């Protein structure tokens, strides 16, 4: 979803243009494994584009009508990097170890209704979207609605801070954690297609040209960790369906009407049918309002089909609720016996305000007994503050480049950076309203910059970049029994370092994979 980064000014970008690839005339350092002969680079680029097309690494082309609604119309490869991004193995393992702890934390916090309502009470007054979510949560409390079977498909996003060498969490996504389907494809592209087929061949073929670089291109495909995000998400959905225990019921993907990223979702639904013989349907919130009904026994029926699992790939942004119809659909689903992924309480746990509240002293201890687990979580927390903390607000006005201002939004393109932080804070202070409760302040993370090759719209270009690592987690619980609590693959996103935001679907970043160092 959203991302933060260091901003950098590229004094002399190094473009590699489509059809006419240009390279820097300077000699790269030994650590730069991108010193690839241009003929070889063009061959790799061509074959990578062919592979991505043949294996479904595609999205709808926004310039083509119906590309986001009709499968097979206007497809273009998803943006990806040509080579994997280096990442320290120690920090990779740290991030993986955190996933089950965060899974458990989300579940336990979701049961503390008072904490959720109290923590978001000021935000509710000034943020209509959060207010509507809280209203649904309150209605579930009023009717004493229990979610005995709880399913979470989460993703915790991190950056590696260059100065402190610390792995710091950006956010925890509890709704619509995207690219479980595509992330494994990119790892396979890098691991099996490019590294094994080309780089070692390149060393042999261009030995005379590159002999003085030694093992410059000798990347080891074994250093790219396996990425089983798709299969593990499907396993969690399949097992949740089994726990619901109605063989007639289906899994319902809640989707946006115009969804250019539909193929990432279709990879999951196809695997669900092939591996678990579980059928799925796709419905927008508006369609659910029109076709859905709550049967006397609590079953959710949509267009005559019983729903076992509701999997939200929409519903995380106010844009998904243009009318009361969509809100009626959300309430209908919450009132039903269907397993919601996420439930309204899981959704609220993923808000920025709750992330900030959990970072306060002695709060984690309310939900986790294991002191080592608490310490591991605290180690990855970046600085997080409420805007009613005057000392921090004053510092953010004086040094806005050190902070990111975040509203309660998901999906990329929502955060405030740079001088806009100062301007927004001064505006809020002048207004003397409670609008500051709609935001939190977060320490800005400055990760290492590196050069990489971006593939977008069939063209290859080289640029300075930074990366963000997302670790997927799957969690399934039925009453007191934890059925699944696992780290479940990863999503590596890389973007041009001068860009503040980092969502792939929002157009800021490219899909990548991890090369452990």
Give alpha helix (H) positions in 359-474: 371-380, 390-398, 419-431
Q: Which string of DSSP letters, residue by residue, matches 33-72?
A: TT---HHHHHHHHHHHHHHHHHTT-EEE-TTSTTTTTSTT
Strand partners of residue 85: 514
Average pLDDT over residues 354-365: 96
Please give the C-alpha separations between residue 451 and each of 496, 497, 509, in angstroms, as whole numbers. Answer: 9, 10, 14
pLDDT (tens digit per residue) in 391-413: 999 999 999 999 999 988 776 66
CA separation for the pair 101, 341 (Å, rounded)? 18
Active centre residues (catalytic): 155, 171, 173, 178, 352, 406, 410-411, 493
What pLDDT, on a 0 to 100 scale, did the predictor assign at position 235? 98
What pLDDT, on a 0 to 100 scale, did the predictor assign at position 413? 66
Strand partners of residue 493: 468, 511
CATH topology of domain 383-444: Dna Ligase; domain 1 (3.30.1490)
Contact 250, 277 (CB under 8 A): no
What pLDDT, on a 0 to 100 scale, did the predictor assign at position 30? 29
CA separation for the pair 431, 500 (Å, rounded)? 27
What pLDDT, on a 0 to 100 scale, did the predictor assign at position 34? 54
Greatest mean pLDDT among 129-143, 186-200, 419-433 lies in 129-143
Looking at 284-396, which runs of residues are DSSP E strands? Answer: 292-294, 300-302, 305-312, 339-341, 384-386
pLDDT (tens digit per residue) in 148-203: 999 999 999 999 999 999 999 999 999 999 999 999 999 999 888 877 776 555 44
CA separation for the pair 317, 197 (Å, rounded)? 42
Average pLDDT over residues 134-156: 97
Average model confidence (pLDDT) for the chain? 88
Could you tell me how far CA 464 lies from the centroid of its own chain? Answer: 22
- Specify the pairing of strand 514-516 against strand 439-443: unpaired
Q: How far apart are the first and last CA of the chain?
A: 26
Contact 383, 442 (CB under 8 A): yes
SS3 string of 250-267? EEEEECCCCCCCHHHHHH
Please give the C-alpha separations between residue 117 and each of 96, 354, 405, 495, in angstroms, as whole numbers. Answer: 30, 10, 22, 36
Q: Which residue has the tokens 């002969």?
A: 37
What pLDDT, on a 0 to 100 scale, did the predictor assign at position 411? 60
Q: Closest by alpha carbon to 26, among 345, 462, 486, 422?
A: 462
Tokens matching residue 133: 């979510």
In this predicted structure, which of 3-7, 66-70, 204-208, 284-288 has the lowest mean pLDDT? 204-208
Please give the C-alpha separations between residue 47 and each of 36, 82, 126, 144, 165, in angstroms, as whole numbers. Answer: 15, 11, 51, 56, 36
pLDDT (tens digit per residue) in 370-389: 999 999 999 999 999 999 88
Residue 26: is its pLDDT beyond 50? no
Average pLDDT over residues 476-481: 97
Residue 204: is its pLDDT beyond 70? no
Coarse DSSP helix, strand, coil percentages of the chain, rounded to the nearest 5 percent: 40, 25, 35
Residue list for the binding site for ATP: 171, 352, 406-415, 417, 442-445, 468, 495, 501
Contact 8, 464 (CB under 8 A): yes
Average pLDDT over residues 86-93: 96
Q: HSE (CB half, 13 Å, CA atoms) of 304?
A: 0
The H or E element that residue 383 is part of is none
Confidence category of residue 218, pLDDT binned at 50, 70, 90 = low
CATH 3.30.1490.50-classified regions of the chain: 383-444
What pLDDT, on a 0 to 100 scale, did the predictor assign at position 505? 59
The burial of 132, by beta-carbon neighbours within 10 Å (0-12 exposed, 13-18 middle, 19 or more buried), is given as middle
Please give the C-alpha separations between residue 445 and each of 182, 374, 381, 405, 468, in angstroms, as whole numbers. Answer: 26, 22, 11, 13, 11
Q: Closest by alpha carbon to 291, among 279, 304, 280?
A: 304
What pLDDT, on a 0 to 100 scale, did the predictor assign at position 35? 61
pLDDT > 70 in the chain, percent = 87
Strand partners of residue 406: 440
What pLDDT, on a 0 to 100 scale, did the predictor assign at position 328? 98
Omega before 267 cis (within 30°)? no
Residue 209: is its pLDDT beyond 80? no
Residue 332: is its pLDDT beyond 80? yes
CA separation for the pair 189, 194 (Å, rounded)? 6
Torsion region of 187: left, alpha or beta (phi above 0 gives left; psi -120 to 50 gives alpha): alpha
Average pLDDT over residues 116-133: 96
pLDDT (tens digit per residue) in 253-297: 999 999 999 999 999 999 999 999 999 999 999 999 999 999 999
Average pLDDT over residues 455-472: 94
Q: HSE (CB half, 13 Å, CA atoms) of 177?
A: 31
Residue list for the binding site for Mg(2+): 171, 173, 410
- Phi and psi angles of residue 467, each rounded to the nearest 5 degrees, phi first: -125, 155
Residue 63: is its pLDDT beyond 60? yes
What pLDDT, on a 0 to 100 scale, did the predictor assign at position 198? 67
Residue list for the binding site for substrate: 155, 175-178, 259-261, 265, 313-316, 493, 504-505
Specify the 3-state DSSP secondary structure of 202: helix
């Amino acid at each position: 979803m959203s991302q933060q980064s260091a901003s950098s000014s590229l004094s002399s970008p190094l473009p590699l243009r489509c059809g006419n690839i240009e390279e820097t005339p300077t000699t790269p350092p030994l650590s730069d494994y991108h010193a690839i002969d241009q003929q070889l680079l063009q061959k790799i680029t061509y074959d990578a584009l062919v592979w991505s097309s043949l294996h479904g690494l595609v999205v709808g082309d926004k310039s083509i009508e119906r590309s986001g609604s009709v499968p097979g119309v206007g497809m273009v490869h998803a943006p990806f990097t040509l080579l994997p991004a280096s990442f320290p193995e120690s920090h990779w393992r740290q991030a993986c170890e955190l996933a089950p702890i965060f899974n458990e934390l989300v579940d336990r916090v979701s049961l503390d209704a008072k904490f959720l309502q109290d923590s978001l009470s000021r935000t509710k007054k000034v943020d209509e979207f959060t207010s509507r979510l809280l209203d649904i949560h309150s209605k579930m409390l009023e009717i004493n609605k229990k979610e005995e079977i709880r399913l979470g498909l989460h993703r915790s996003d991190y950056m590696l801070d260059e100065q402190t060498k610390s792995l710091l969490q950006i956010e925890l996504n509890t709704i619509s954690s995207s690219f479980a389907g595509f992330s494994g494809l990119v790892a396979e592209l890098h691991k099996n297609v490019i590294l094994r087929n080309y780089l070692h061949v390149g060393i042999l073929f261009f030995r005379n040209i590159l002999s003085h670089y030694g093992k410059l291109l000798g990347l080891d495909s074994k250093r790219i960790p396996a990425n089983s995000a798709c299969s593990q998400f499907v396993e969690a959905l399949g097992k949740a369906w089994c726990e619901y225990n109605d063989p007639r019921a289906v899994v319902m993907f809640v989707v946006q009407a115009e969804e250019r990223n539909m193929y990432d979702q279709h990879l999951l639904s196809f695997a669900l049918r092939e591996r678990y013989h579980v059928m799925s349907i796709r419905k927008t919130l508006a369609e659910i309002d029109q076709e859905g009904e709550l049967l006397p026994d609590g079953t959710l029926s949509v267009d005559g089909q019983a729903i076992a699992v509701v999997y939200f790939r929409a519903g995380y942004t106010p844009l998904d609720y243009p009318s009361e119809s969509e809100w009626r659909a959300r309430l209908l689903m919450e009132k039903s016996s269907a397993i919601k992924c996420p439930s309204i309480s899981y959704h609220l746990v993923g808000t920025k305000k709750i992330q900030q509240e959990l970072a306060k002293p002695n709060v984690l201890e309310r939900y986790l007994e294991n002191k080592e687990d608490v310490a591991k979580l605290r180690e990855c927390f970046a600085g997080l503050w409420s805007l009613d903390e005057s000392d921090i607000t004053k510092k953010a006005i004086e040094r806005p480049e050190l902070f990111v201002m975040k509203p309660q939004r998901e999906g990329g393109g929502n955060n405030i950076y740079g001088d806009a932080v100062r301007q927004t804070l001064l505006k809020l202070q002048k207004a003397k309203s409670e609008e500051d409760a709609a935001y939190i302040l977060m320490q800005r993370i400055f990760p290492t910059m590196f050069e990489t090759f971006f593939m977008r719209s069939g063209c290859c270009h080289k640029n300075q970049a930074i990366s963000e690592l997302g670790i997927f987690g799957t969690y399934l619980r039925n009453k007191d029994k934890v059925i699944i609590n696992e780290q479940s693959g990863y999503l590596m996103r890389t973007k041009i370092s001068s860009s503040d935001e980092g969502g792939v679907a929002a157009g800021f970043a490219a899909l990548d994979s991890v090369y452990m160092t």
